[in-house]
Amino acid sequence: MKKIILISLITLIFTASYSQTDTDTQKKRYERHSLGVSGGMSHAFGLSYQYWGDKFGVHTSFTPYADFETDYMTAFSIAPMISLHDGKRAKYFMYEANGFYIAHMSHNDIFMYMPAIGAGSKIWITENLNINIALGLGILFASEDTDFPEFTMLPDINFGFYYSF
């Protein structure tokens, strides 16, 4: 009788532990890292990398150099993100982005900084390809050598195309 109870208990434990395993571990594994290109005001533009944990993520973009006849521009951004809902074909999130632009144009050194907050979605096209669309509101702080006022409130629109692995 003790053997039957012991075997039943072991079977019950294994069954319960199997039922608690996450069947989406394959999806979550390749969804964590993404490489691609992005463009927008606060997310800068250029090569982009995203990392998603279980609830929080981070986005970074970088444009190393652009030459337009002795003029150059470097852009960098970092944006922490929090997941609001993780669906089968889309992830919805909020972000707080920080975009930095450094340029030398027409013999002027220009520095711009744009913090922004907003919401977005990561939409899966295929198993590994996805697009990001984000909308928000930001404030552009610009150096005095630009055509912009010292600070301007602007809509923040960002778009990205990514390969996840």
Q: Residue 146 above 80 pLDDT?
A: no
Q: pTM for the whole thing?
A: 0.75
> Which of 6-10, 47-51, 56-60, 109-113 has the least mean pLDDT?
6-10
According to CATH, what is the number of the domain 30-164?
A: 2.40.160.20
pLDDT at 20: 41
3-state secondary structure the chain: CHHHHHHHHHHHHHHHHHHCCCCCHHHHHHHCEEEEEEEECCCCEEEEEEEECCCEEEEEEEECCCECCCCEEEEEEEEEEEEEEECCCEEEEEEEEEEEEEEEECCEEEEEEEEEEEEEEEEECCCCEEEEEEEEEEEEEECCCCCCCCEEEEEEEEEEEEEEC
| All structural domains of the chain with their residue ranges | 30-164
